[in-house]
Structure 1
C-alpha cells in the first residue's frame, strides 16, 4: 500500500469474514462504541489525522488569525511563548567541536560562535534586512503556534550578505495545501508537499506570490525541500507533512467567550446608564392637552401632525438629567418605566474561570499565567503549576533548536567558511557542525532552598555546574568569561575582586530552614 493510499483510504477492501454472534460476553473496551448515554462522533477507519488537517487547514488558519487579532487571551498566549521559549536574547549557540584527544577545540569554537553572533545581527541574517536572528526565532514561533506552520527559505550566494547566506520568512498560505497528487515511483504530493516513497519531503509546491497580497491563486513553483525550513509540531500525527494551529481545540471556546463577554459588557453599560421609557397611562384622555401641547393628531387647523409636534421643546416630558435627592414630576397621563438589565451578575466570574481553565488545558499553559488570576494561588500551587509549565517551555525550546536553528546552522557554517568569514579548514566541516543551543532559564520560586540543593548535588557529584548554569539559561563558558572580565575590570580599578567576593559571602547569613507554608 502506497503512502498516498494510506492518507486517503484508497486500498482494496479485504474479504469479509463470517460474523459470529456473541454469546453472553461483554465488550472489554466500552469506549469502542457509543451507547445511549455517550454519543461518540466516530470517524471512518479509512480517514486519517493527516487528511483532516489537510482539508481543514485553511479554515483553521483563518479562524486562528481572527481570534489572534481580537482575543486578549490568545494574544497573551503568544506573548508567553515568546518570553519563555525565545526570551530576551533568543536561543544561544554553543559550539562543541572536539579535538582528536576528546578535548574541546576552544579556538575553533570561539571563531564559530563569534561568526554566528555577527551573522545574527539585525540587517544581516534575513533577506529583508529588518530582523535579527532572535527576532526571526520569535516570528517563527508565533507563526507556528498561530498557523500551525512556519516556512523559511534559505538563500545561498555571494549576493546574500557578507556570509553568503540569508533566510526569507514565508506565509503558510503560499503553500498550495489543496494540492494532492499521486506521482511515479511511489512519490506523492500531499497538501502541497511532495514526498518520496518513504515519506521524506523532496519539494514544496508553492504559489509565486502571496495570495493575500495579490489575490487569486497565481503561478505555482516547485522549490526543493533542502531550500525550505518547515516548522510545525509533529507530535499529534504519525506521518505528518503539515501542522495545525496549536489552539485548534480552544478556538470555538475562545470565540464564544469573546461573544459572551461582549454581550455582558454591553448589558453592564446599559445598566449603568439606567435607561427608561415614557408610557402613556391607559386611562389618559387622548384629546386632553398634556403639558401645554395641542390636541393629539391635529395642529388646531385640522391638519395631521407628527407626535414630535405635540409639545414645545421646553414642555416635552423628559427626565434626562439626574441629581441626588431630587424628585421630578411627570406631566399628567405619563408614566416612567425603568429599563434595568440585571446581567452580568455573580455567576459570570466562576463561569469565565471554568471556561478559561479548559482553554489553558488546550493551550498547555498554567491557568494562573494566562489569566493573571492569583486570587487563590499559594506557594504550593504556584510551584507545581509553574514547574509543569516550565517543563513544557523547555520541550518547546528543544523543538525550536532542533527544527529551526539546527536546520539553518550547517548551511550557514559551510557558507561562512567558503566566504572567509570563519577561517577554518573545509576538510573538518563535519567536526565543526557539532553545536548545542541554550534557551533562557527562570528564576527559582524558592531560590534559597534551590541554591542549597544545587550545592549539595554538585558536592555529591550527581549534578554538574553545566546543568546548574543551563537551568538559568546560561553556559558555563559565559559565566567564566564574565568573571574574567570582572577580574580585568577590578584590576584596572585597583580593586581586589577575590576579597570583595569573600567579604560578600561572609556577610550573607546561611539559609535557615523555613517552616512549611500552610496552603
Structure 2
C-alpha cells in the first residue's frame, strides 16, 4: 500500500517524492555523520594509518618534547606514569623449578643490571634504562633498543638505546631483498618487520645518511599499536598536546597580568592649552630640579594647573585562573587515564573515598603498562641474556637448550603501591590471606617484594632475636608459620618431634603437647 502511494506521489510530483525520500533517509542516518553549516569545516578522511601519520609524526614528537622540557603539567603526567610503573625497577623471579638454580640466576641478573655490565655506554643501570625507555615511549611514541653481543667484559650481552629519529626515510626498496621499506622499517607482505634501517650518527651529533640494515631479531621496538595497519608509534601525549600548550600560554599571560597588577602605576593628565604646556611639555620637578618619576612616603606635590592624576589598577583576579587550570588539568589527566590528584598533586579537595577511588583507577592505568613493559622489554632481554650466560659459561646448565623454555620461565615483580589507610587495608589483606583468597606470594607481588626474600628475612630476624634472648610479639605462629617450618622437623605420623633444647616459645610447646595427646 505504501509503495503504491509513493509511486502515485512520484507520478504527480517528482520533487515532492524526492523530498520525502530524502527525509526518510535522514531519519535513518547518524547525527554524527551529518554535514551542516555548523560542522561543514570538519571533514576528515580515512586513509592508510602510516601515510596519515608520517607527515605529522616528527612535528608531534617535537611538540611533545618541548612540553616535556617546559610544561610543569606535562612533566607531572609523564613523571607520574614513570614513577608508578617503573619506580625502583621491574625485577625477575626465576621459575625453573630448582630453587638453588633460581637463586644463582637472580644473583647473576643483579650483577648484570649494573651500569658497567648492561649498558653499552656503561652509564645506566637496567632499572634506569627502564625509566628512560618508558619516558621516551610516552613522549616520542616509540624507542629502539639494540641487543649487542660483545666479547670483552664480564657479560657478553649489552643494550644500546636508539632514538626513533634515526630510522631512515631515504629508501623505499631494500637494495638486496627487494622488500618495501616504509619509514625506515623493512616489511614483508603482512607488515611484519624484517629489518630496521638505522642512520649512523657521529659523536659530534651529525647524521651520515648511510643507514645500516639491522635484523629485526636484534631490535626491540617499543611502541603501542592502535591500528591494524600501523607500523610505527605516535606520541602518547598527542591527544592533549594542544590543551597543554594552551594552558601553558594562559598561565604565562596570567603571570604577566599579575606582575602588572602588582605595580602601582600613576599617570599625570595635562589639558591642552594649560599653563606650562605652550611650546614645551610641562615636566614636574622636585626641589632639586630633578624630574618627578617616583612616589615617596609622605610626599606632597602640587600639580600644575590643568593636571590631574589617575592610577592604573588592572582588575584581574587569580580565582578565574585557578578554575581554568583545574579544568584543563583534569581533562588532560583524563586523556592519559590519570586522576586529577595525580596530575595536580592537589589532595586537599578530595575525601578519603574519592582519593581511594582515584588511586584505584590510576592503578588500572599503571598495571597494563607494567605488563606491557615486562612483556615487550624485560622478557626479550631476559631470554637473550640467559642464552648468552649459558653459552659463555657463566651458568652451568648442561641440558639448557634441550629444555630451554622451562629454564627461561620467569615472573616479573613490579613496584607496588602504599595504602591510603594502612589499618583498613592491612586488616582486609590479613582476612583474605587467612581465608585463602590471597596467597603470600600475591600479597608480596602487590607490594613489589619477593616472597622468598620476605620469608628468609623473617626467619633470620626470629633466629637473631632468640639468640639474644628476646621474644618479640611479632613472632607468633601465625606470622612466622612458613619461617618456622625450616626449624621444626616433621615426623612420619605428621606430628612435630621434640628437640632437646628449649628454643621454642610457650605457644609452640602448647601446640606440640596437644598434638602428642
Gaps of 5+ in 2: 1-20, 480-517
In 1: Cα distance, 2:363 partner to 2:287 partner: 67
What is the TM-score when the length of structure 2 is the normalising length? Answer: 0.81
Q: Deviations over 1:117-175 (max 9, x none)?
A: 1101222110111111110101101111111111111111312x311000111112111
The alpha-carbon distance between structure 1 residues 355 and 130, as it changes in their structure 2 partners (threshold 3 A), is same
Q: Deviations over 1:267-315 (max 9, x none)?
A: 1111101223333332413466xxxxxx738xxxxxxxxx99x969933
The alpha-carbon distance between structure 1 residues 158 and 446, as it changes in their structure 2 partners (threshold 3 A), is same
Q: Would you say the 8 A contact 1:108–1:424 is kept in 2? A: no
Question: How far is the alpha carbon of 1:105 from its aligned partner?
Answer: 1.6
1:369 and 2:359 matched: no
The alpha-carbon distance between structure 1 residues 488 and 134, as it changes in their structure 2 partners (threshold 3 A), is farther
Q: Would you say the 8 A contact 1:171–1:210 is kept in 2? A: no
Task: Tell me the equivalent position of 1:296.
Answer: 280
In 2: Cα distance, 1:385 partner to 1:186 partner: 52
In 2: Cα distance, 1:39 partner to 1:461 partner: 60
In 2: Cα distance, 1:87 partner to 1:348 partner: 33
Q: Which among 108, 121, 136 is matched to residue 114 of structure 2?
A: 121
1:150 and 2:137 matched: no
Q: Would you say the 8 A contact 2:137–2:223 is kept in 1? A: yes
Task: Tell me the equivalent position of 2:211.
Answer: 220
The alpha-carbon distance between structure 1 residues 313 and 207, as it changes in their structure 2 partners (threshold 3 A), is farther
1:207 and 2:195 matched: no
1:83 and 2:56 matched: no
In 2: Cα distance, 1:383 partner to 1:180 partner: 52
Task: Tell me the equivalent position of 2:181.
Answer: 189
How many residue pairs match? The answer is 457
Task: Tell me the equivalent position of 1:169.
Answer: 161
In 1: Cα distance, 2:206 partner to 2:161 partner: 19
In 1: Cα distance, 2:246 partner to 2:363 partner: 29
In 2: Cα distance, 1:485 partner to 1:185 partner: 61
In 2: Cα distance, 1:121 partner to 1:220 partner: 31
Question: How far is the alpha carbon of 1:230 from its aligned partner?
Answer: 1.1
Question: How far is the alpha carbon of 1:177 from its aligned partner?
Answer: 4.8
SS in structure 2 of the partner of residue 24 of structure 1: helix
SS in structure 2 of the partner of residue 199 of structure 1: coil
Deviates more, 1:49-58 or 1:329-338: 329-338
Task: Tell me the equivalent position of 2:386.
Answer: 413
SS in structure 2 of the partner of residue 242 of structure 1: coil
What is the TM-score when the length of structure 1 is the normalising length? Answer: 0.80
Deviates more, 1:181-190 or 1:471-480: 181-190
Task: Tell me the equivalent position of 1:3.
Answer: none
Task: Tell me the equivalent position of 2:259.
Answer: 269
Task: Tell me the equivalent position of 2:302.
Answer: 329
Q: Would you say the 8 A contact 2:142–2:221 is kept in 1? A: yes
Deviates more, 1:371-380 or 1:334-343: 334-343
Q: Which among 258, 282, 285 is matched to residue 272 of structure 2?
A: 282
Q: Would you say the 8 A contact 1:146–1:247 is kept in 2? A: yes
Q: Which among 449, 453, 458 is matched to residue 474 of structure 1?
A: 449
Structure with higher RCO (Cα < 8 A, 6+ apart): 1
Q: Would you say the 8 A contact 2:201–2:207 is kept in 1? A: no
Task: Tell me the equivalent position of 2:91.
Answer: 92
Task: Tell me the equivalent position of 1:259.
Answer: 249
In 2: Cα distance, 1:418 partner to 1:182 partner: 33
In 2: Cα distance, 1:503 partner to 1:335 partner: 89
Task: Tell me the equivalent position of 1:430.
Answer: 405
The alpha-carbon distance between structure 1 residues 55 and 488, as it changes in their structure 2 partners (threshold 3 A), is farther
Computed over aligned residues only, the root mean square deviation of the Cα atoms, in angstroms, reads: 2.9
Q: Deviations over 1:37-58 (max 9, x none)?
A: 455733333x133332222111
Q: Deviations over 1:196-246 (max 9, x none)?
A: 1222211111111179x5345622221111111111122x22243211111
Task: Tell me the equivalent position of 2:230.
Answer: 240
Q: Would you say the 8 A contact 1:185–1:197 is kept in 2? A: no
Deviates more, 1:273-282 or 1:372-381: 273-282
Q: Deviations over 1:63-112 (max 9, x none)?
A: 11111111011112222122101112x00111112xxxxxx221221111
SS in structure 2 of the partner of residue 50 of structure 1: helix
The alpha-carbon distance between structure 1 residues 196 and 485, as it changes in their structure 2 partners (threshold 3 A), is farther
Q: Would you say the 8 A contact 1:174–1:210 is kept in 2? A: no
1:132 and 2:128 matched: no
SS in structure 1 of the partner of residue 160 of structure 2: strand
In 2: Cα distance, 1:28 partner to 1:450 partner: 51
Q: Which among 463, 480, 483 is matched to residue 438 of structure 2?
A: 463
Task: Tell me the equivalent position of 1:314.
Answer: 288
In 1: Cα distance, 2:290 partner to 2:462 partner: 86
SS in structure 2 of the partner of residue 437 of structure 1: strand
In 2: Cα distance, 1:64 partner to 1:133 partner: 25
Q: Would you say the 8 A contact 1:267–1:344 is kept in 2? A: no
Question: How far is the alpha carbon of 1:357 from its aligned partner?
Answer: 1.5
Q: Deviations over 1:437-461 (max 9, x none)?
A: 1111111223333333333333333
SS in structure 2 of the partner of residue 448 of structure 1: helix
In 1: Cα distance, 2:363 partner to 2:456 partner: 27
Deviates more, 1:49-58 or 1:374-383: 49-58
Task: Tell me the equivalent position of 1:12.
Answer: none
Q: Would you say the 8 A contact 1:53–1:243 is kept in 2? A: no
SS in structure 1 of the partner of residue 423 of structure 2: helix
